[in-house]
A = this chain, B = another copy of it.
Amino acid sequence: MQSSKSNKTDAAQKQVVSSAVINRLPRYFRYLRELLRAGKTRISSGELAKMMNLTAPQIRQDLNCFGGFGQQGYGYNVRYLYTKISDILGAAEGYRAIIIGAGNLGRALVRTPMFAARGVSTIAMFDVDKNVIGCNFSGVNVYSMDELESFCDENGVDIAILTLPKTSAKEVTERLSTSCVRGIWNFTGIELGTYEHVKIVNVHLGDSLMTLCYEIKAASDSDDIAGSDIDEKNNETDGTNK
């Protein structure tokens, strides 16, 4: 059923893929999973574009950065495309993650199915609080921070999730930078600097909150100016945080 022709994912990518494209991939992943769940087997770029508030040629351009995943006259096979996008995003790598900071945020995260859905397994939590060390949340044990390095070495940890107080974030990052950890998912809100062997992705919840405040303000501002349509065009976004 699937085109056996030129599959560019196996070969090196033609050119550097722009970050505009990369940033859309997790959204494709999300919508495709939803389609899969809904039992849809095929989809055209036009249909998907309508769902996602994009244009059909944009979707075709994006996907063609990685390979010819569709079929002329047919469209895209949902399951096939989903697995391809998963591969591109590294969801098939089976990354192992630890959560550093077993407070409310850490506990909230460990319970979500988000990790499993993306091929990431949360194998441990760490904390400094003796009352929390030894506890178990959703089947994940809390270890002492003293065991951080040895645990990482022994278990081949790929990702560290920082849900600890700002004050100790920098110090912990330094410790991680010399471990086998390859990525840090940073919820502390502070900048951690750059490290050669560790990728850092920051979650700036405050930025997101401010975006909401801005949109509320902009909406009421344009209400005030009777007949004005300033910024109304922004309303046609789907509210996704870019």
Binding site for B on A (CB under 8 A): 12-13, 16-17, 19, 22-23, 25-27, 29-30, 88-91, 93, 95, 103-105, 107-109, 111-112, 114-115, 117-120, 158-159, 163, 182-186, 189, 191-192, 194, 199-217, 219-220, 225, 228, 230-231, 233-235, 237-242
Q: Complex Cα distance A1/B216, Å?
A: 33
Specify which chain B residues have a CB less than 8 angstroms from the CB of A119 in the assembled complex: 213
* Copies per complex of this chain: 2
Specify which chain B residues have a CB less than 8 angstroms from the CB of A159 in the assembled complex: 212-213, 216
A210 touches B108 (CB 8 A): no
Specify which chain B residues have a CB less than 8 angstroms from the CB of A183 in the assembled complex: 212-213, 215-216
B105 touches A231 (CB 8 A): no
15 other contacts beyond A13-B230, A117-B206, A201-B212, with CB at 8 A cut-off?
Answer: A12-B225, A26-B204, A30-B204, A90-B216, A90-B217, A93-B213, A93-B216, A95-B216, A104-B111, A109-B205, A114-B205, A114-B209, A185-B212, A199-B219, A201-B239
Which of B104, B200, B233, B239 sits near A200, CB closer than 8 Å?
B239
Residues A210 and B89 in contact in the complex (CB < 8 Å), given A108-B103, A108-B108: yes
